[in-house]
Structure 1
Amino acid sequence: MEDWDTYRLILALHRGKTLRHAAKLLAVNHTTVARRLAQLNRSHGAIIVDSTALGYSLTSAGQSLLHTALQMEALIKEDKSILRAEQIDHCGHITVSIPPAIAQVLLIEELQSFALRNPMVKLSVQCSYQLADIDNSEADVVVRVANEPSEHLVGHRAGTVYVNYYGHEQYLQQPSEHFSWLVSSHDPSHTQWIESSPYPQAPAGIAFDDLMVRHSAANQGLGLLRGACYIAKTLPHLRLVCEQQPQPFSQIWVLTHPKLIDVPRIKCLTSELYQLLSDRKALLQGQGQG
């Protein structure tokens, strides 16, 4: 009978395709994965995982083990969800995952207020643009900026992120032939929005992968920016490039797992986050106070 570590190895090799990627999934080094793989093949007296030009591939025997591994993984996730639903009642630990910019600009003080009003709840806030996996217990509540959030999660659309074109007040005073756009290194489609911008002839300049750093760079006069209105409103030197209406960019959702939605503390937190973000409609459109 196989143990769970064996099935985790099967899943990692199936998903990672290479020793290094599998090692990253398992949080071990690649030599450990190679040793475990050799032991796996020896213990079965057959090749379970075969090396190909495209990476590691499961043999027919490996596919049989993979089927069992996927079933076990689903059962483990189910058990974790049930356990969380039982434990997180009127006290306990709640992990919420929020994009850093939304946490910093829109919610940081309110999260502190929630924690003070609910002293029996230990609130942990993960600030990352990586999507936390609720099914794998990485978070209990998530705030996501997406037009199509995960279908199996439950919650509400709490608002819309709007964008507009901004520049430092002094930067905008120079001749337009000197303009360049600050872009995201994660956005290969920036050429499309530049073409429809007020300065389509301006080239893409520095690419910053961090959203807040990109806005800060524009606030320091390093280039033009298509920025989130709610962030730009808080930066003292940014001005609209032209009198253009803000454009909807993406929706904001407050979501949780179906098994957690009726847990009192989860319901309290999701309802409060929803209301807080809904109340910031004007700021999300670049109006009101930052």
Structure 2
Amino acid sequence: MDQLSAMRVFVRVVETGNFTRAAATLNIPKTTATNMVQSLEAHLQTKLLNRTTRRVMVTTDGALYYERATQILSEITELDGSLSNSQTQPSGRLRVEMAGAFADLLVIPQLCDFYQRYPEIKLDIGVGDRLVDYIAENVDCALRGGTPKDQSLIARKVGELRMKFYASPDYLRRFGEPTHPSELEEKHMSVGYLNATAGRVMTMDACRGDEVLELTPRYVVSVNDARSYVSAALSGMGIIQSAWFMAKDSVESGKLVEILPGWECEPLPLYIVYPQTRHLSNKVRVFVDWLAKLVQNMKAEENREQIRKAS
């Protein structure tokens, strides 16, 4: 029996909850996964898993073994990586999750640069703001806006997004331009951004000097996707509070107008998150570093644009 391989299968079964998903993520037949765990149990002379027709449950011994096995496998991966990183290019499949706006407007336009640097990495990009089961779906990392609340995830901050107010010329012709953010609660309309996790439309923050506001804007439509959020503003459905990189093309073409100058909110932090049980492999590390640089370049471009407008 290859005990190391059997340990990996056992750990994957525990993390995914059944043999079928574990085998799929490891790209091996289900029968092979089952036989390897059975051989491991025979070798250890103890039962690690209780199996029913519907699910797999970890025994007391299995829970203890899982805890140590994950540590050992992580240390082996780190050791292998430390010896090979200086000699070989990062390689392998990298599964990343991110919102559609990040994918379409930030990451994908620059992917040729990433591929030229790391031609042996194959990127699988899942697009959306949904909750992700990182272990069961074999996701390596995700790019997320806002401070992560899930304590089971390790988070690395890669940048910040400056948020400003925008509206379409058509909306401004019909309703005029607000002179104060409080008007979004009283006489103007916004496009609501629906937080799918919380099940409610998010508030808007606005600050100028010592004046700090938390607004609950009026809206007739809300969406849960950043691209649809901007599209609704383009159609004249209301005012939005958006990151500069999402609105800049529409502003440059005259389809959106920045309003309420001088009013901003706290910058939205950007994080790369990954599960604590997942070793930060070299391929993940180079992607995170590349992405951090990408965000820095975007921020520098935004600052140059602000200077140009002010001059």
> What is the TM-score when the length of structure 1 is the normalising length?
0.60
Within 1, Cα distance between the matches of 2:39 and 2:166?
A: 59
Residue in 2 that maps onto 1:207: 223
Out of 220, 231, 243, the position equivalent to 1:228 is 243
Is the aligned partner of 1:50 residue 2:21?
no
Q: How does 1:53-132 map to 2 (within 5 A)?
A: 56-82=56-82, 83-88=84-89, 101-102=101-102, 104-106=104-106, 112=112, 127=125
Residue in 2 that maps onto 1:246: 264
How far did residue 121 of structure 1 move? 5.7
Q: Which amino acid aligns with 1:78?
A: E
Q: Which amino acid aligns with 2:223?
A: A
How far did residue 70 of structure 1 move? 1.2
Residue in 1 that maps onto 2:169: 169
How far did residue 63 of structure 1 move? 2.8
- Residues 57/138 of structure 1: CA separation in 2 closer, same or farther (3 Å cut): closer
Q: How does 1:182-221 map to 2 (within 5 A)?
A: 182-186=192-196, 188=198, 191=201, 193-194=203-204, 200-203=216-219, 205-208=221-224, 210-221=225-236
Out of 237, 241, 244, the position equivalent to 2:255 is 237
Within 1, Cα distance between the matches of 2:11 and 2:34?
A: 13
Q: Which amino acid aligns with 2:69?
A: A
Q: Which amino acid aligns with 1:249?
A: P
List per-residue Cα deviations over 1:181-210 (Å, max 9, x = no partner): 2314446386452487797351473323x3
State how many pairs are aligned: 267
Within 2, Cα distance between the matches of 1:7 and 1:186?
A: 37
How far did residue 11 of structure 1 move? 1.9
Q: Which amino acid aligns with 1:162?
A: R
- Residues 205/128 of structure 1: CA separation in 2 closer, same or farther (3 Å cut): same
- Residues 33/81 of structure 1: CA separation in 2 closer, same or farther (3 Å cut): same
Is the 1:254–1:274 contact (alpha carbons within 8 Å) kept by the matching residues of 2?
no
Within 2, Cα distance between the matches of 1:188 and 1:125?
A: 30
- Residues 66/86 of structure 1: CA separation in 2 closer, same or farther (3 Å cut): same
Percent identity over the alignment is 15
Task: Show structure 1 runs of 5+ residues with no match.
Answer: none
* Secondary structure in structure 2 of the residue aligned to 1:8: helix
> What is the TM-score when the length of structure 2 is the normalising length?
0.57
Is the aligned partner of 1:280 residue 2:262?
no
Is the 2:115–2:121 contact (alpha carbons within 8 Å) kept by the matching residues of 1?
yes
RMSD over aligned CA atoms reads 5.6
How far did residue 164 of structure 1 move? 2.2
Residue in 1 that maps onto 2:276: none
Q: Which amino acid aligns with 1:161?
A: L
